Amino acid sequence: MREPKVFLLPDLGEGLTEAELVSWLVKVGDEIRVDQPIAEVETAKSMVEVPSPYAGTVAVLHGEPGQTLDVGKPLISVMPVGAAPAVESAAAPVAEPAATQDAAAETYREEEKAGSGNVLIGYGTPGGHGVARRTRASKRAVAQVPEAEKAADDLLLMRTRVPGKLGAVISPLVRRMARDHGVDLGDLQGSGASGLIMRRDVEAFIKPAPVVEPAGTRPVETPAVSTDVAAAITDTDARTGLGISGRTAVRGVRKAVAANMARSRSEIPEATVWVDVDATALVELRAALKNADPDHTPGLLAFIARFVTAGLKRFPELNSRIVSAGDTAGGAGQEIVAFDGVNLGFAAQTDRGLMVPSVRNADKLSARELDAEIRRLTGVVREGKATPAELGSGTFTLNNYGVFGVDGSAAIINHPEVGILGVGRIIDKPWVVNGELAVRKVTELTLTFDHRVCDGGTAGGFLRFVADAIENPGSVLADL
């Protein structure tokens, strides 16, 4: 009797111990091949499709959409090729087949040889094809999945692909939004390339443009309140006596951010220094470059990023990390680990929360190359497709909160890094130039640093270096 192979939810990235099951891409009774995507899961960092390292027939799906699964716990059970048909649950007995065909067994062995066990999309096993086909259903399977349901599932799969473009599949985030709001993707006309259905298409369907009606003809209606909201409103908070209008579970990105920020505050003795900077010369430099080459001019953030990487080379203490050094004569110790290179993280606001992707080896890139990589990574994280390596490998963070219209902020260090530089909005301010009052483009730089790795002299030296580079960009760029 051959037992089903149980595939455990793999480690999806550094520090991630759980993932939310968004949807299943297969059903009990499906025949799957090595590396075929079987489920969509959402971690605290990104949305990923998990492929199967096994070939065979789906026997058990361990979990329901919306459920949070722990890493290392069963995700799916697969009956090997040539073994008994799919079963209903993990507790159900597996019937041993009357005979095992040699050809089927050989196929299974060959597919097992092809599997490497690497389970993340983009790192799958060689030879995997990801082709799904439904096996000939047994009587038991037919009872579980009616033909109408199977047909509806096949129709939904067809509708999530772009006509005439087999590889273009609608984003999992878009499909999830459509599912949550009861939108049939088959009724939408995509505005993307080759008819791809975009997020804006689903949002437009959910919130159609308001219809203007003549005055006095519109009936007075009582606003509709959902059952969940109505129930929440009747709930009263014991401490304040106010009604509770809603409850939101802390999970996914918000849960990860909360845990990381709390750890940063509890472990890092941080200090903050700041300075106002005359950015007029930098703004004028970029304007001149834009006039000469409008399509390939880096943004202001890319120039500042270039100055930051240069500053970190001069003050490497801020491009380090504190780690446990093991047992020493005095007990458990710590050591400061310095890095040969800079992975520059930058804060990006997305629909899933604040994300911090990092530009690898940023110290080796020009301002134009930094600008291109910042734009690429921003697009990736907003689509929910960033890899754990892109989100967890930073050594220092640059935070442009000026885009939110604020001047300054005492930012929280992105643990386990030891520093974060914030840039406020650039606005016109009165400024003394050569003894005379003038209107200049002024911004505020704020550096929060870990006082264990350096003192105020080092932090002030780094901050002043970046400020001087912004005020005199031409001379600094000539030396980089």
What pLDDT digit, counting tens, does each position of 321-355 carry? 999 865 444 445 889 999 999 999 999 888 877 88
DSSP state for residue 442 in the 8-state scheme: E
Q: Give the pair of three-digit tokens for residue 213.
A: 């009606």
Q: Angle at Cα 394 formed by Cα 388 and Cα 395, nearest 5°?
A: 155
Contact 56, 31 (CB under 8 A): yes
Per-residue pLDDT, 472: 94
Contact 18, 68 (CB under 8 A): yes
Does the model's pTM come out above 0.75? Answer: no
Per-residue pLDDT, 223: 52
Per-residue pLDDT, 129: 40
Segment 350-407, tens digit of pLDDT: 887 788 999 999 999 999 999 999 999 999 988 888 887 888 899 999 999 999 999 9
Between 219 and 58, whose confidence is greater?
58
Question: Looking at the predicted structure, is the pLDDT value of residue 99 above 50?
Answer: no
Mean pLDDT across 183-193: 71
Q: Give the pair of three-digit tokens for residue 11.
A: 């480690």
Report CA 416 to chain centroid distance, whole Å: 18
**Alpha carbons 448 and 464: distance in angstroms, whole number:** 14
Mean pLDDT across 19-23: 85
Query: Do the domains 266-479 and 1-135 match in fold?
Result: no
The CATH class of the 1-135 domain is mainly beta
Residue 110 binned pLDDT confidence (cut-offs 50, 70, 90):
very low
Phi, then psi, of 357 in degrees rounded to 5: -75, 160
Half-sphere exposure of 285 (CA within 13 A, CB side): 19
Contact 426, 442 (CB under 8 A): yes
Mean pLDDT across 227-247: 73
Catalytic-residue membership of 181? no
Per-residue pLDDT, 16: 63
Q: Which of 70-79, 84-93, 292-301, 310-319 has the highest mean pLDDT?
A: 310-319
Segment 115-162, tens digit of pLDDT: 433 334 333 333 444 444 444 444 444 444 444 444 444 444 444 444
Question: Looking at the predicted structure, is the pLDDT value of residue 68 above 70?
Answer: yes
Between 80 and 279, whose confidence is greater?
279
Mean pLDDT across 12-40: 83
Between 82 and 133, whose confidence is greater?
82
Question: Looking at the predicted structure, is the pLDDT value of residue 12 above 50?
Answer: yes
Mean pLDDT rounded to a whole number for the chain:
77
* Burial of 139 (C-beta count, 10 Å sphere; 0-12/13-18/19+): exposed
Give the contacts of 263 (CB within 8 A, at least 6 positions apart).
Answer: 415
Per-residue pLDDT, 330: 46
Q: Give the pair of three-digit tokens for residue 8.
A: 């455990």
Name which of 38-52, 217-231, 304-318, 465-479 the model is least confident about.
217-231
Find residue 76's DSSP bridge partners.
7, 61
Extents of the domains making up the chain? 1-135, 146-211, 266-479
Selection from 450, 207, 480 nearest residue 367 by Cα: 480
**Alpha carbons 352 and 100: distance in angstroms, whole number:** 49
**Alpha carbons 76 and 119: distance in angstroms, whole number:** 13
Selection from 348, 279, 288, 272 nearest residue 307 by Cα: 279
Contact 43, 387 (CB under 8 A): no
Between 12 and 37, whose confidence is greater?
37
Per-residue pLDDT, 123: 32
- What per-residue string of b and e applies to 220-229 under the rule 16 or more CB within 10 Å gives b? eeeeeeeeee
Per-residue pLDDT, 24: 93
CATH fold, domain 266-479, is: Chloramphenicol Acetyltransferase (3.30.559)
